[in-house]
Amino acid sequence: MDATTNRSKPTAPTERVITTLRLHAAPSAAWQCLMFYEDVPRKPWPLLRLLLPQPIKSEGDKLSLGADVRCTYERGYLLKRTTHVEPGRLLSFDVVEQQLGIERYARACHGSYELRAVGEATDMVLTTAYRAKLWPRFAWRPLERYLCHRLHLHILIGMRERLLSEGLAVSPNDLEGPGTARALSP
């Protein structure tokens, strides 16, 4: 028996990780730049590349209610289905299929992008829910959360770079105030 995954234990719990980054752009501009992990053009951080499957691309219309988006990885795929769309405010999706080679450790359930207007800026809130299968939870949860926050930041920074390159945002370096990334995990 594998000590980390096959012990007699309760059903795998659903974990939720939330990360927020302030984008110095209007919600309508941020909405136009929504991207999934598989859409970010730059390489993920080294630890993400080491521990998670490598994204290649996504295909499908993520902004259409009920639409399926196929997210391709080097050794597998995810199929995401859009479940809720409020243009300029909220995009939610369920993961309806996962074949990434990590299913014995974790399985993605759903995620969302929430845009919150803050003056002339937008707080972009990414949420991921997944079924955790590694035990004991107190030992694995911190690493899982760290990786998920890093994945979220990779996406959010990719969105910020796109907003800046398209002239839809001002650089946070041009503004006064402290850093604006927050990692929340209930």
Q: pLDDT tens, 62-120? A: 999 999 999 999 999 999 999 999 999 999 999 999 999 999 999 999 999 999 999 99
Mean pLDDT of the chain: 90
Q: What whole-number percentage of the chain has pLDDT above 70?
A: 87
Closest CA relative to residue 37, chosen from 166, 180, 147: 147
* pLDDT at residue number 170: 80
Q: Which domains does the chain have, with CATH numbers?
A: 14-184 (3.30.530.20)
Q: How many CB atoms lie within 10 A of CB 117?
A: 14
Question: Residue 180: what pLDDT?
Answer: 53
Classify 133 as helix, strand or coil: coil
